[in-house]
Every structure is written in structure tokens, then in C-alpha cells.
Amino acid sequence: MKDIRTKGFERLIRYDKALEETFKYVKKIGTEYISIENATGRVCAEDVISDINLPPFSRAAMDGYAVIAEDTFGASITNPLIFEVIDEMSIGEYKEIVLKRYQAVKIYTGCIMPKNATAVVKFEHTIPIDEKRIQVIKSVPPGKNVSLEGEDIRRGDLIVKKGEIINPYHVATLAGIGRRYLKVYKKPKVAIFSIGNELIEAGQKYIYGKIYDINSFALYSLAKNFGCEAIRKILPDNYDKIKNELINALNYYDIIVTTGATSVGKEDIMPLIVNELGKLLVHGISIRPGEPTGIGLINDKLIFLLPGFPVASIIGFLYIVRPVLEKMLDTCFPKLKIKGKLKRKVASELGRRDFVRVKIYKRNGEYEIEPIRLTGSGIISSLLKADGLLVVEENVEGYEENETVEVELITYNFHY
Amino acid sequence: MKDIRTKGFERLIRYDKALEETFKYVKKIGTEYISIENATGRVCAEDVISDINLPPFSRAAMDGYAVIAEDTFGASITNPLIFEVIDEMSIGEYKEIVLKRYQAVKIYTGCIMPKNATAVVKFEHTIPIDEKRIQVIKSVPPGKNVSLEGEDIRRGDLIVKKGEIINPYHVATLAGIGRRYLKVYKKPKVAIFSIGNELIEAGQKYIYGKIYDINSFALYSLAKNFGCEAIRKILPDNYDKIKNELINALNYYDIIVTTGATSVGKEDIMPLIVNELGKLLVHGISIRPGEPTGIGLINDKLIFLLPGFPVASIIGFLYIVRPVLEKMLDTCFPKLKIKGKLKRKVASELGRRDFVRVKIYKRNGEYEIEPIRLTGSGIISSLLKADGLLVVEENVEGYEENETVEVELITYNFHY
């Protein structure tokens, strides 16, 4: 029987120290230009300044007659004022028109205003006399029913900031100022490997003694959710096969994530492989779940050795890989948090950071946070049941029943 | 000069009545099978029941020795008990082993347990004597360091429900039970047309008097966010061109959304076209913004005539098209809501539903809701500034300053 290291980790590094060490090696990802209709969810890599006014000209905000506002002063149903209709505007059309006193131009919502017209009298407040003349029966102040050049956006306004995640309203505004192409950060390319001789792939016929791989599917889905390009693959506990796969993947992918074979047992060959190909930066982090997590550097690329237990690998992805992706992309992914009363005591240890799966209930308009009882880091169904994670930081020994705590949502299943 | 209808709508239909009328014609979209790694964000179209236990067998949850728990009773450092090591398990391997009294099998986390073994003694609690014998120095109760068959998921458990939007934790669990393919609703196919002679497309050189189209880009991005397949196109105010484009689009797309040309003015040809090709179900809805919205039916397909003003078209998409997509997909998109104190009075009219753009601030742990001052439905930058929408329902005349109101978030820009 082979020699085994049974003692566990001699020393665990604190979570923030592990991230700090890792951040030293994070390189910002490159940029590319894409068309704005594909930009939603991407991270903007430039400060976009408008180079036009929006609207680009003063325009009618109502169907009616464009006039010089002062000409209508005193108009009423008992004192109608007569205006000469000298022209009609069509939408999208530009005509060089200058109004004389008591002249009007028929106009429709969105039409460019004649140069010196300052207001629009609604059709309802006019009475046609003949083809060329109308009575105005209500006065309008300057600016009435007109949308002014630049009232929405002014030339020089900052529209989208570097690091913002583009949403449909950004796209709308970019379209409005005529910007079709946007500089965004490239999608980080992430290779995900589930390691273990016991693993078979969903869809394959079940073989007794084996288990269906969860991690590569889970982390692949999370990576895509965080805007990455990803692949996933199962690898056996074979030093050379894993090593060759990593060497290949490092040619193309920006970061590598593996799960399994990362503790200090006999089958835990990942730290050894990383140390052969590069350098293990961190091994053993004071978090629960996820203690055996390792982080390495090979050819200037980061490799994350996450534990084989599915919940631990997912939490590792959320709290170790995600912050690294944020650094690479110069952004901050939205993290929705909710405060509520804890329904049951949560114990932790000083110096360790715990991630506790919780359910959130809404009762009488208040949130109640209930830790999920079955907390083994292999229990994947606990994440189906969970709405969020309660992070118990290193300087906190735990929380008492009825304490108010803040939890981060892990899905949007929960309707607030 | 041509005749024009200037009177506005003779009658506006209530928002809920308009939706009710529309829902009569909504047909559920078809289904398809996809591989689970592509399923995140898609809507599940089946109840998935696990046909296996997870774990599929009882397995070691610790590296150590599998034993019959009772044999360890009384063991301590001062009273070590001797066990015969009869075999060693490898991960993923199945062996038919039956333990006799005081026999043990060397085992690693995740290994299948020998048939009648009931606990695992950690390596730390054993002292090797020779290749074949160990001393056990701590007793273990039955079940200790073992993860039991089916403790995560039992055969017959419901994993994902019809209508749920798949998230990475669903994918993880589906992978775990070996389900590679999932029945989901097809992506609704949405064709989006911005109508107006004044419109040019972002990226084109600016022509004075024209404006860059916002709506088709905005609604295209929203449609994609709601899991649709979409196209977008700008069309001129030309009856025959629009009619032909619609006839073509109806061959492929499930729903059509147009913006502009839908009021009761001279250029408002959309209602006429819909009435020629099919039937206008609703025209004029008592909402603000969005009053001129129309809804029609052509060849059993719904067509939405949204207003040309960008904010009105976006709110129309969110509050009229989105509920229809939810019906088609048999789901409910997540809608995040937040409660806070209103910082300024909001006025509305009885019988009308208002959608008020608001900013959300967090002060002293409480949310403050501030209506955005510039509220013209053409002001696209207002949606960049807004965090949410305050819906003022028909039976409410408005809200006073300091009233507590609930708003729906329109982006996740706001970090809670």
C-alpha cells in the first residue's frame, strides 16, 4: 500500500489573503469592438461620450401648428387670432423655413421645428378657416409642445462608463446617439475539468460504483452566466493525461478551473501537477466549504483547483473565481443582497469564513433567513432549495437566532 | 392637405382588460430537447423526476477504514482495538466485499462502502501495526463518515418543475441524476420593426432632420434578455412596404412588435394595416406612457403596435409584451422589487395606470425612492438614470411624499 498524507493541511491561508495573493497575477483581458445589438451583458471597455445632441434638433412634441409663441398671446375662444399657414412639415424632412409674424407651419410630432418657431399650438386649439388660414384660440408660452435640441442628451455627456455591464437601456441610448460599435472586454475563456476515475457523464448509461459528474456542468453554466466562453470535460485521475490536457488548454484558455484531486490524500495529484508545470500559489484556504482549494500559476495563467464536492466547487467558483473574473473584466457583477432575521443559530469558527446555504421566507413583509439543515458539501439538492448564502466572516463566531443578517442571493428564483 | 384625425382616442381600454383580451389569443410555444449545458435561462417544459438515488450507493465521506461500527465500541487510545485490513478500495471501483467482525477496508472519500460496513474510522484515529493490521483508537457510531445512498436525492424526487427558468443549480442537479437532455420551451421568435421616415440606423452618417432609431435596438435587446430569438429592422412610413414586411415576417416569427405610426394622426398607418391583414383587438390603452398602444391579431399571431417614443415603447414591451411571453412560455420572469419611502409626491389619474421612472437610494439602511424629474416619454437618458419603475395602479390617484411604495427594478445596476 502506498504512502499517504493523512494529516490534512498544516496551515490554512485566510480567504482575503488568498485572494490578495491571486490578484497579483490577474491580467486584464483584451478588448474588442462589437455591434451594440450584441452588447447586452458584456462589459464596456471605454467611456462613451456623446458627440451629438439628442434630440439633434428642436422638434414638435405634438401634432399642430408651429408658431412664434408671442404671436399667440391673448388668443382665446372669444378672441381668436388669425395665422397664415405657409407650409407643412413631414416627419424626417428638413426645410429651411423662417416664420414671419402671425405665420404658422403645420407640423407633426417629431418634425423638426422651423428655425424661429418657439411653440406648437395643438390642432385642438385651432379652427381652420380655409386652406391657408387658421384661427388660434389658445395662447402658448415659448417652449410649449416642443422638445428642445439636447434636452435628452448633450454633446459631451458621458453615456456608459468603462466597467459597466451593458443593459438594454445602454443599448437604447447608444443607438440614440448613433454609436453602432462598442469597445468591450473580450469574454474570458475558461476551461473546466472535473477530475475523478469515478465520474461518468450525464446521458451515459449508469455503471454501479460510478457517479454522474456534476461539477463541470455546474461551473460551465456559472462561467457562461458570468459572460465567459467555456468548455467542460471529465478527466480521469491520471497524472499524465491531466498534465497534457492542461498544457493544451493553456494555449487557448485564459483560466483553468479543475475540481477534485486537490486535497492532501493519495489521489490528490492536482497540486503536484501544478507544481510541476508552474507554481502553486495557495493550497488550503480557511473557508467552509472549500478548505482544500488550491490556486496556481502556469505560464502566467491562473489555475483554480476547486474541491470535488459539488457545493464546495460551486461556492469556490462564486467566491474565488468570480472575483478574479471581475478583476480581469474591470467590473463588478451584480450581487443582490437581502436582510432578514435569522431563524436558527449559525455556528462558525473564528479565523474561518463560512458560506451557509439559507432559505429566505417573506412573512408580514419581513424576510426570514433559515439555514438549510443538510449542509454536507456533497449535497447538491441543497443548492436547489437555497435562495442565498450567508457569509460568516473570519472575525465572527456565528450568529444567534433572531439576529439580523444579510445574505447574498444565489438565484433569482425567489420572488421578492 | 389631407384629412387628419386629431381628436385622439375616443375611448381608452384599461390595462388589465387589454391584457385579458390579448391573453385569449396567446398560444403556448412548442417544445424541444436541448443538452443541459445549454439550458441555463431556458424555460423547463417538463417535471423532471429523478430515476436514481443520489448518491447512488453509500460511500465514504472521509479517508480512513470502513468498519462495522459496533466493532469499534470501547476503542480508545488506552484501549486500542485491533482490526484486520482485508482490502483497499479505489475511487470509482466496485468490489463485492463482506466484512467479518473486526475486519476493515482501507477507503477514500467517495469510495463505495463495503456491503455491511456502517462507518469509517478516520486515518487519524488509527495506528498501523503492519501491512495487514491496524489499531483503532476511537469508536465511531453507525453512519459516521458515511454518506448514505439517496441522502441527497431519492428516486422519485421532483428536481425541476415545468415552467421554471433553469439556473446553474438546476443544471448541476440534472447532471447529478444523469439527465443530459431537457425538454424546454422553444425560444419565442420575435420580429421588431421601428417605423418612421425620420429614422436612420446607428453607425450611419447623420443626416440633419433625421434621428437615430432607438426602439428596434432597445426592444431587440430586451427580447433577447427574455430568452427570445429576435430580429430588428427599420421601416419607412410606407403602407405597402410595411404590409409586405409583416406578411413575410408572419411566416416565421411568433410575434411581431412595431414601434411608431400607431396613434390616430396622419402618419399612423399601423392600425390600418393590421385591420387589413387581420384584426385590431385593442387600440388605445389607459396607461402612461403608452396610450397609443395597439394590439392586433394576424393569422393567429399577435402583433403589438407600440408607440414611437422610446420610453413608451420600452415600458410597453416590459408590461404588455413580457406578460404575453410569460404566457407563451408558461413561466414567470423574475421581477425584483424593493420597498422604500417616496421622496416626492407622484400624481396620477384614477382609471389610468402610470409607470413612473424612479431612482433608488440607500440611506441608513433604508431605501429612498425618488421619481425622475424629466419624464417625457422621449427622454431615453431617463432610463439610464432610473433604477426602477413605480407602477401607480388605476384605483390610486397618486402617492404622497414619504409614503412607502414598492418599485420594480429595471436593471441590476443598483447594488443592494
ipTM of the complex: 0.94
* Nearest residue in B to A64, CA atom: B6
All residues of chain A having their beta carbon less than 8 Å from the beta carbon of residue B93 are: 197, 209
Contact B180 A164 (CB under 8 A): no
**Residue B341, CB-side half-sphere exposure with 13 Å CA sphere:** 8
Confidence of residue A52 (pLDDT cuts 50, 70, 90): very high
* Nearest residue in B to A146, CA atom: B376
pLDDT in tens, B214-258: 999 999 999 999 999 999 999 999 999 999 999 999 999 999 999
Contact B297, B279 (CB under 8 A): yes
Confidence of residue A357 (pLDDT cuts 50, 70, 90): very high
Contact A178 B203 (CB under 8 A): yes
Contact B40 A170 (CB under 8 A): no
* Nearest by Cα to A17 from A396, A308, A288, A394: A394
Contact B218 A147 (CB under 8 A): no
Interface contacts A/B by beta carbons within 8 Å: 306
All residues of chain A having their beta carbon less than 8 Å from the beta carbon of residue B203 are: 35, 178-181
* Nearest by Cα to B415 from A43, A332, A181, A317: A332
Nearest to B94 among A94, A173, A208 (CB): A208
pLDDT at site B6: 36
CATH H-level, domain A15-30+187-329: superfamily: MoaB/Mog-like domain (3.40.980.10)
All residues of chain A having their beta carbon less than 8 Å from the beta carbon of residue B335 are: 415-416
All residues of chain A having their beta carbon less than 8 Å from the beta carbon of residue B202 are: 36, 174-180
* Encoded amino acid at B256, one letter: I
**A308: its cell numbers:** 470535488
> Minimal Cα–Cα distance from A247 to chain B, Å?
24
**Residue B27, CB-side half-sphere exposure with 13 Å CA sphere:** 11
Arithmetic mean of pLDDT, A268-276: 95
* Nearest by Cα to B171 from A384, A189, A308, A356: A384
pLDDT in tens, B257-312: 999 998 877 678 999 999 999 999 999 999 999 999 999 999 999 999 999 999 99
* Nearest by Cα to A166 from B384, B318, B215: B384
- State whether the Cα torsion B16-B18-B19-B20 is positive or negative: positive
> Minimal Cα–Cα distance from B334 to chain A, Å?
6
Confidence of residue A371 (pLDDT cuts 50, 70, 90): very high
CATH H-level, domain B15-30+186-329: superfamily: MoaB/Mog-like domain (3.40.980.10)
CATH of domain B59-147: 2.170.190.11
* Encoded amino acid at B374, one letter: L
> Minimal Cα–Cα distance from A345 to chain B, Å?
23
> Minimal Cα–Cα distance from B118 to chain A, Å?
17
Domain boundaries, chain A: 15-30+187-329, 32-51+161-185, 59-147, 337-409
pLDDT at site A3: 34
Residue B2 above 60 pLDDT? no
In a mutational test of the A interface, the residue from B9, B37, B195 whose CB has the highest number of chain A CBs within 10 Å is B37
pLDDT at site B248: 98
Confidence of residue A9 (pLDDT cuts 50, 70, 90): confident
Q: Extract the runs of DSSP E, i.e. beta strands, from B22-148.
A: 31-35, 48-49, 59-60, 64-67, 81-88, 103-107, 119-122, 126-130, 133-136, 146-147
Nearest to B221 among A40, A57, A210 (CB): A40
CATH of domain A337-409: 2.40.340.10
Contact B190, B259 (CB under 8 A): no
pLDDT at site B314: 97
Interface of B with A in 288-327 (CB under 8 A): 308, 310, 314
Contact B90 A197 (CB under 8 A): yes
Residue A399 above 50 pLDDT? yes
Output Rg (C-alpha) for chain B, integer angstroms: 32
In a mutational test of the A interface, the residue from B211, B257, B415 whose CB has the highest number of chain A CBs within 10 Å is B211
pLDDT at site B412: 63
> Minimal Cα–Cα distance from A166 to chain B, Å?
9
Helix (H) or strand (E) holding B356: strand B353-363
**B356: its cell numbers:** 413612473
Contact A225 B380 (CB under 8 A): no
All residues of chain A having their beta carbon less than 8 Å from the beta carbon of residue B222 are: 168
pLDDT in tens, A141-150: 999 999 999 9
pLDDT at site A337: 87
Say yes or no: A175 contacts chain B, CB-CB below 8 A: yes
Say yes or no: A359 contacts chain B, CB-CB below 8 A: no
Contact B383 A265 (CB under 8 A): no
pLDDT in tens, A66-79: 999 999 999 999 99
Contact A231, A223 (CB under 8 A): no
* Secondary structure (DSSP) of B185-234: EPPPEEEEEEE-TTEE-TTSPP-TT-EE--HHHHHHHHHHHTT-EEEEEE
Cα separation, A145 vs A122, in Å, equals 8
Residue A5 above 70 pLDDT? no
User: CB neighbours of A276 closer than 8 A, spacing ≥ 6?
Assistant: A243
Contact A110 B153 (CB under 8 A): no
Cα separation, B161 vs B46, in Å, equals 6
Angle B351-B356-B359 (CA atoms, 0-180°, nearest 5)?
155
Confidence of residue A413 (pLDDT cuts 50, 70, 90): low
* B307 preceded by a cis bond (ω within 30 of 0): no
Beta bridge partners of B144: none
* A289 preceded by a cis bond (ω within 30 of 0): yes
CATH of domain B32-54+151-185: 3.90.105.10
Say yes or no: B96 contacts chain A, CB-CB below 8 A: no
Say yes or no: B340 contacts chain A, CB-CB below 8 A: no
pLDDT at site A375: 67
> What are φ and ψ of residue B244, in 5° steps?
-65, -40
All residues of chain B having their beta carbon less than 8 Å from the beta carbon of residue A212 are: 175-178
* Helix boundaries (H) for A292-359: 310-316, 322-329
* Nearest by Cα to A365 from A339, A403, A401: A339
Owner of C-alpha cell 454501479: A208
**B216: its cell numbers:** 428596434
Cα separation, B25 vs B38, in Å, equals 30
CATH of domain A32-51+161-185: 3.90.105.10
All residues of chain A having their beta carbon less than 8 Å from the beta carbon of residue B332 are: 415
All residues of chain B having their beta carbon less than 8 Å from the beta carbon of residue A92 are: 196-199, 209-210
Cα separation, B318 vs B320, in Å, equals 6
For residue B88, what are the CA distances in angstroms to A271, B66, B94, B97?
A: 24, 10, 11, 10
**A305: its cell numbers:** 483547483
The answer to whether domain B15-30+186-329 and domain B337-409 are alike in fold is: no
Nearest to B209 among A92, A208, A410 (CB): A92
Q: DSSP state, B72?
A: G
Nearest to B209 among A94, A164, A203 (CB): A94
For residue B307, what are the CA distances in angstroms to A40, B224, B312, B315?
A: 23, 20, 6, 10
Say yes or no: B124 contacts chain A, CB-CB below 8 A: yes
> Average pLDDT, whole number, for chain A?
93
Nearest to A380 among B40, B90, B173 (CB): B173
Helix (H) or strand (E) holding B68: none
Contact B173 A265 (CB under 8 A): no
Contact A152 B381 (CB under 8 A): yes
Say yes or no: B384 contacts chain A, CB-CB below 8 A: yes
- Considering A377-381, B269-273, B332-336, the range whose residues carry the highest mean pLDDT is B269-273
Say yes or no: A147 contacts chain B, CB-CB below 8 A: yes
> What are φ and ψ of residue B22, in 5° steps?
-70, -40
